[in-house]
Structure 1
Amino acid sequence: MEQPRIQEHDENQKEFRDILSKYGLTQAEAAALITNETGQSVGTRKIRSWLAGVSIPSSRKCPKWALTALKRTTENLSEEK
């Protein structure tokens, strides 16, 4: 029962990390991009919890909406360059 949650957590986290790396974004920059895209307040602390290992108590699964928002905004960034 716990395995699918961990797998999805890992997949979302890997994709999130890949986007940060590809565009050279800091956690604070990612938080600002997601906040601007969605209108939901996302802080650096929340980003940190999404990137924390699943065994860490403060770890949270990165929600799909945040990942989608980050992908959308970074695509826009690359188009502007």
Structure 2
Amino acid sequence: MNNRDKLAALLKRANITRAEAAQYIAEETKRPCSWRAVQSWLADSALPSARECPDWAVTNLTAKLKRLKLIA
């Protein structure tokens, strides 16, 4: 499973929006993260706006969601 799929699965499991995911990533990393960044990470790789989802985004979102008890 690639990071794009992992990120999509996290959003679905926690039932959060892309904007909420961006907010949680920003809170966890103490760096800005926009919903557009999350959108580009989730975009189909054939699209020109698609970007590869970085490991740190998945790791930090997972940590935040666990701390908030939105995922196990």
User: For residues 31 and 49 of structure 2, what CA distance do their matches in structure 1 show?
Assistant: 20
TM-score by length of 2: 0.92
User: For residues 31 and 57 of structure 2, what CA distance do their matches in structure 1 show?
Assistant: 10
Gaps of 5+ in 1: 1-9
- Counterpart of 1:47 in structure 2 is 38
Q: In structure 2, what residue type is equivalent to 1:22?
A: R
Gaps of 5+ in 2: none
Percent of residue pairs identical: 36
Q: 1:69 aligns with which of 60, 67, 70?
A: 60
Deviation for aligned residue 1:45? 0.6
Q: 1:22 aligns with which of 10, 13, 38?
A: 13
Number of residue-to-residue matches in the alignment: 70
TM-score by length of 1: 0.82
Where in structure 1 do 4 or more consecutive aligned residues deviate above 4 Å? none
